Structures are given as structure tokens and as C-alpha cells.
Structure 1
Amino acid sequence: MFSERELRDLIISVFMIAFIFAYPHINLTYFLIALFTVGLGFIFHELMHREVARKFGAISEFRAWYEGLILGLILKIILGATFIAPGAVYIYKDYLTTEESGKIALAGPIANIILAAAFYILMIIANNYLLYMIGFLGYHINLFLAGFNLLPIPPFDGEKVLRWNPLIWAIVGIPLLIYVFFSIFF
């Protein structure tokens, strides 16, 4: 179940992130592909955080960070750099262990990795340009979202994963951060 506020924040965030990824390719087709691929990646990322937190007995709900969305838009337009900070799943529980917090944090990037794999398969089996572009953008956007979120600094997911298990963070995070470093101006 979604509250009215959570649903509104998710929808606004998806549209803003899609615009950030689509800019400067401002045409309807490219924007719709970005909307679909970013929408899936972002929604599944946040919902995985939410659902894993709920499995640990927490109350959790997504909240947009409008200042972060505006900052991302400005950075993309002025510098051409992709920066995504749309908000977060807020978790309410008396106490979360470091392990619970780490697993909740890792769930979002894992969702993006799974989606990236699915989009990669679509990209290699595509028999027309539109499907290829959906696969291509979905693959790259989801790897970017996974890697960016695994930055090992607060408030990103990577900080919580690193605190819980440095080895898991290194195995999952380092290759993705290398990818993000080389694609920051994607």
C-alpha cells in the first residue's frame, strides 16, 4: 500500500530523474524510453529498500528530496553531469542492527543490478532500434543507479553496506563505482 504522499513523491521523482537522464536529448521518444527505464529502476530500487525494512519490522515510506532533484537538474543543465539524489525511504523502528541496516541498504542496488541484467538481455536480443535503445538505456541507467547509491559516504546506501560488511561492499560496490566514474557524463 502507498500513502498519497508517497505516491506523489515517487511520481514527481521519476519524472525529474527521467528528465535528468534524457537531457539534452529532448525528444519525446528518448524521454519516454528514459521515463520507462528510470521509472522501473528507481521504483524497484526504492521499493526493495521499503520491503526489506518491513521484513525487519520497520515502518518505511519513500519521501522525495525536492532540493536534491533541483540540484540534479541544475548540475545536468549547467555542467552536463548526472547527479541523482531524489529522496530516500525513511525507516522508523526503535532499533535497527548494523546488519539489518546494511541489508536494507544493499537491497536497492541489487534490484538495479538485476534490472540491468534484464535490460542487457533485451539489448542483445533486440530486433529493432527501439528495443535496442530501451535495453541500452535500461542497462546503463540501472548500473549507474546501483553504483551511485553505493558511494561509501552518508547518506548513500554504500555507507551502510560498508559499515555492515566491507567485503560485500567491495565485491558489489567497487566495480559499480568504477562504472559510475567512467559514465558520470553519460
Structure 2
Amino acid sequence: MEFTRQEINDIILSTLSIACTLIVSNLFLNLAWIGKFFMAAIIVSASLIIKLFIQKRVAEKYDCEIKYAFDYSLFIVGILIAFASQGSIIFAVMGGITASSAFVSRLGHKYVNITQRERGLINLSGPMANIVLALISLLLYPLSNDFFQLMLNVNIYMALFALIPIPPLDGSKVFWWNRLVWLISFIIALFMFFMARTVLFSIIGIILLVIVTFVLWEKMF
């Protein structure tokens, strides 16, 4: 369940790319973008690593491994969207994972058959991890408004855009496995996107945190 050197390089590339898109709105205002960039880099890297760790953990459960790779086409899309919206929309997904059914283990090459359901669950666990992180940041919001507000936004954007059913995004594998599961997951992420700044979200968010945690536990462990 280790990260390869290439994965670490791609995580760094993704972190810097997403952090750049997050500060676009500040570029039109003042030099406050410098401080926001470092805070965004910390939040993005932590959120991405946790997401990938969960996906690797689920993949391990099915005796396979995943690799994360930076995607330059997603980077271009993210930059264009950020500048077109002047930073109001953040395409916070700069890469995707691939599940391998053949890899080297301590006993030599190992081969496993990954079903469509297993691929779907592996990919779904990533956006669900982001949703849980978003809800946790909501609960911790009173401790540091700026930090946890940004953490909330980053993870909502990560979950929402990752669930778009287009390769190499997570949503593509979930969609082809089970369209109902994909639809429910996407609606939850979309709901959070629109309700993130309301009092109603605070109440429903805590309920969703319990539900999502329970469902993940039942499905994957």
C-alpha cells in the first residue's frame, strides 16, 4: 500500500496545480494569494493523500493495487475553468487511478480477477473519503474559519468533479458498475456543493456523516 516515486511526483504536481486554480480569484484582487497558495497546498495534499490511502486500502481488500497518475488534459481543463470563472469554480481533480490485476508481491507475480463491482467500490471510496473530510471540516469550522472553510470547499470540489462519469475520473468506473449508486453519490456531492454555506447544511451534514460512515463500513469492511 506504499506510494511509488512516480505517484509521489504526480501527487505533488496535482497539489500544485489545484492550489494554483484555488488562488485564481485572489490574483484579481491583491497579493493575498501568496498566503492562500501555501494554505491551499497543505489542504490539497493532505486531502488527496487521504483519499488515495483509502482507495489503496480498499484495493488491498480485493487483493489488487492501484496507481495514481497526473493527467495533463485535466490540468488544462482545470486552468481554463478557473480563469473563465475567475476562480469561482474549482476543478479540483488533476488525475485518476488505475487498478491492476497483476503485480509483483513477495512471492512473485500475483494475478487476481477484479470484478466491475470491486472496481466501482475502489473508485467510489475516494469521493466518499472527500465527503467525510468535508463534513469533518464543517464540524471543526469554528476553530479556524479560513482554514476549514477552504478544506470544506476543496473536498466538496474533489468529490463532485471526481464523480463525473468520464475517464479517468472515479465516476466513470462507478457509473458503469452501478448507475443508481453513482446517482446517489453524485446527488450527495451536488447537494453539499449548493448547501455548504447554509445553516441547513450544518444539520443535515452531521446526519450524512453518520450515514456515509456506516455505509462505507458495511460495503467495504
TM category, shorter: 0.7 to 0.9
Q: Which has the higher contact order (CA 8 A, sep 6+)?
A: 1
Shift in CA distance, 178/116, structure 1 to aligned 2, threshold 3 Å:
closer
More displaced stretch, 66-75 vs 99-108: 66-75
What residue number does 1:140 align with? 153
Offset of 1:71 from its aligned partner?
3.3
Query: Any unmatched runs of 5+ in structure 2?
Result: 28-32, 102-111, 197-221
1:154 alignment partner, SS class: coil
What residue number does 2:13 align with? 12
1:83 alignment partner, SS class: coil
TM-score (norm 2): 0.71
Shift in CA distance, 169/71, structure 1 to aligned 2, threshold 3 Å:
closer
1:61 alignment partner, SS class: strand
2:25 alignment partner, SS class: coil
What residue number does 2:138 align with? 120
Question: How far apart in 1 are the matches of 2:140 and 2:124?
Answer: 25
Structure label with greater radius of gyration:
2
Offset of 1:139 from its aligned partner?
0.9
2:66 alignment partner, SS class: strand
**What is the aligned length?**
178
What residue number does 1:3 align with? 4
Query: Any unmatched runs of 5+ in structure 1?
Result: none
Is the contact between residue 99 and residue 119 of structure 2 (CA under 8 Å) also seen in structure 1? no
What residue number does 2:202 align with? none
Offset of 1:178 from its aligned partner?
4.8
Offset of 1:172 from its aligned partner?
2.1
Shift in CA distance, 162/75, structure 1 to aligned 2, threshold 3 Å:
closer
Equivalent of 1:150 in 163, 167, 172: 163
Shift in CA distance, 155/14, structure 1 to aligned 2, threshold 3 Å:
same
Is the contact between residue 20 and residue 73 of structure 1 (CA under 8 Å) also seen in structure 2? yes
Offset of 1:121 from its aligned partner?
1.1
TM-score (norm 1): 0.83
Offset of 1:64 from its aligned partner?
1.1
Shift in CA distance, 141/11, structure 1 to aligned 2, threshold 3 Å:
same
